[in-house]
């Protein structure tokens, strides 16, 4: 491995303004949105085309230098943390919307295209891109694919993998693959699904064809207040059992409510222990029928107040509050750390109670604001990083929460990915035999192991060490 030889080759292929090697140039790229994990790479490449990606991947392969890909840097699992001996490839400038096809209801975009910009571009055609992570004003489509991102409206419309028709991908050797099509099915293995959630470990995305959804004819939004978290949690399952699949079904607890209300005055009830925000959309007659059914379920589930948004302005304000929860909570604490375990809907109440119990043990506060409809929790752990043992306590609490999610039949991640953050918990979620299969897939598509190494899939020895450590502390 020769970083110097690699840099000489890259300098011959890229203009100096797109090959960053000076410390002050690299500093902004040393972490993603989880800044507790940082590293300084040998170089940062600001790619502007697929040809740039091919050149960099090929050069890194020839010189055996690790390569990490970064989109907008909004990831929350340190998946885009650079490797000190490697190159960081940034695709944010590859942000064009290449084609909007009204008849096929698709958009062909570069990986750096911002999520919300795709919907705005498609709106004049009566279409939009359904997956809407809370960071949709900044996150990129390529990053959404890499993490298989969800969002507020994924309960009804699916996560990223259900909303992508095709990809162009550069392999670790610098070859270009076209995967997927606009047909319903293709022969062969489903490589399109495999690459979703692969976190840059199997290939580098250079183009995405996303599926667009017709703008709904009608949308009605409800907000329900509850005097206890358990009642709100039980109402989530009751709504779905009643045969209604809302476009969105979100939950916030008291700490999240108070922080958000102070931040943006969304009209949330400060005396509520929890609130649900619910979108129903589609055909007007069907929506009205669902509205009556959901109102009845909320009432029988113990809601103390149920409001229907009077107009689009009030509806937008309620959702602005939900999507502002993270920065709002940031005002309560010098630092915060968000995780995203997923649990069966009927266990949400149990898990929220366990989280508060764990938080007491670790002397930390936790706010909860999350995609309740699909059980995708987002516990936000508040702490002060200036305290000597703070990060250790935070990581301990996060591990307890994620491993409890596994114990009740859930998963360690719903949309943020494993990255570096949750790699130990992979040893709890999966057996050695299952981890070995993941490793075999990685080795088949990245034989030298250069793409985003040491992320997502742990080595078997690490799994065994972590399990032994857990056993010793039981």
Q: 20, 142, 154: which is closest to 71 by C-alpha?
A: 142
Q: What pLDDT digit, counting tens, does each position of 147-176 carry?
A: 999 999 999 999 999 999 999 999 999 999
Question: Which contacts of 106-110 are long-range, i.e. CB under 8 A and separated by 24 or more positions?
Answer: 106/165, 106/182, 106/209, 106/210, 106/211, 106/212, 107/209, 107/210, 107/212, 108/207, 108/208, 108/209, 109/141, 109/207, 109/208, 109/209, 109/210, 110/142, 110/206, 110/207, 110/208
* 97-214 is classed CATH 3.30.465.10: yes
Q: Which residues does 79 contact at the CB level (< 8 Å), separation at least 6?
A: 32, 146, 147, 199, 200, 417, 418, 419, 420, 452, 455, 456
Q: What is the pLDDT of residue 1?
A: 64
Q: Mind listing the pLDDT tens digit for each residue in 100-118?
A: 999 999 999 999 999 999 9
3-90 carries CATH number 3.40.50.10190: no
CA nearest to 241, candidates 308, 297, 159: 297
Q: 218-328: which CATH architecture? A: 2-Layer Sandwich (3.30)
CATH 3.30.43.10 domain extents, the chain: 3-90
Rounded CA separation 173/202 (Å) = 11
| 423-430-436-204 Cα dihedral, nearest 10 degrees | -50
Residue intervals in the chain for CATH 3.30.70.2190: 218-328
For the chain, the residue count is: 474
Q: Which residues of the chain have pLDDT under 70?
A: 1
Query: Would you call 321 helix, strand, or coil by DSSP?
Result: helix
Nearest of 230, 227, 225 to residue 349 by alpha carbon = 230
Query: How would you classify the pairing of strands 19-20 and 303-308?
Result: unpaired
Q: What is the pLDDT of residue 181?
A: 85
Residues of the chain with CATH 3.30.465.10: 97-214
Cβ–Cβ contacts within 10 Å for residue 279, how many?
24
> How far apart are the C-alpha atoms of 238 and 350, rounded to whole Å?
15
């Amino acid at each position: 491995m020769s970083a110097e030889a690699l840099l000489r080759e890259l300098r011959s292929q890229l203009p100096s303004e797109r090959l960053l090697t000076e410390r002050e140039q690299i500093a902004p790229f040393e972490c993603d949105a989880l800044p507790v994990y940082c590293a300084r790479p040998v170089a940062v490449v600001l790619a502007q085309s697929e040809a740039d990606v091919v050149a960099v991947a090929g050069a890194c392969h020839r010189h055996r230098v690790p390569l990490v890909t970064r989109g907008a840097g909004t990831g929350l699992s340190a998946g885009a943390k650079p490797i000190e001996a490697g190159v960081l490839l940034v695709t944010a400038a590859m942000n064009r919307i290449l084609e909007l096809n009204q008849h096929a209801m698709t958009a062909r975009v570069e990986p750096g295209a911002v999520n919300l910009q795709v919907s705005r571009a498609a709106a004049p055609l009566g279409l939009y891109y359904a997956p809407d992570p809370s960071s949709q004003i900044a996150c990129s489509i390529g990053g959404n694919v890499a993490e298989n991102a969800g969002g507020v409206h994924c309960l009804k419309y699916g996560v990223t993998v259900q909303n992508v028709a095709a990809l162009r991908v550069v392999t670790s050797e610098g070859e270009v693959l076209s995967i997927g099509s606009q047909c319903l099915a293709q022969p062969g293995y489903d490589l399109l699904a495999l690459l979703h959630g692969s976190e840059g470990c199997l290939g580098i995305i250079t183009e995405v064809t996303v599926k667009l959804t017709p703008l709904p004819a009608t949308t009605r939004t409800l907000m329900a207040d509850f005097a206890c978290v358990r009642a709100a949690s039980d109402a989530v399952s009751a709504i779905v059992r009643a045969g209604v699949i809302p476009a969105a079904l979100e939950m916030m607890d008291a700490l999240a409510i108070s922080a958000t209300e102070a931040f943006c005055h969304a009209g949330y009830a400060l005396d509520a222990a929890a609130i649900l925000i619910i979108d129903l959309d589609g055909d007007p007659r069907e929506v009205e029928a669902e509205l009556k059914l959901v109102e009845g379920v909320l009432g029988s589930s113990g809601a103390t107040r149920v409001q229907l948004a009077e107009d689009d302005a009030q509806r937008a304000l309620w959702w602005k509050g939900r999507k502002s929860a993270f920065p709002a909570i940031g005002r309560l604490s010098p630092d915060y750390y968000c995780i995203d375990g997923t649990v069966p809907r009927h266990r949400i109440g149990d898990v929220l109670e366990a989280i508060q119990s764990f938080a007491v043990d670790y002397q930390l506060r936790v706010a909860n604001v999350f995609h309740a409809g699909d059980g995708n929790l987002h516990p936000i752990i508040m702490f002060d990083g200036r305290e000597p043992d703070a990060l250790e306590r935070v990581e301990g609490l996060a591990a307890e929460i994620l491993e409890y999610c596994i114990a009740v039949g859930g998963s360690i991640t719903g949309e943020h990915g494993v990255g570096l953050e949750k790699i130990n918990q992979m040893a709890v979620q999966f057996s050695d035999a299952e981890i070995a299969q993941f490793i075999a897939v990685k080795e088949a598509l990245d034989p030298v192991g250069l793409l985003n190494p040491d992320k997502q899939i742990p080595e078997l020895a690490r799994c065994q060490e972590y399990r032994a450590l857990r056993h010793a502390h039981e």
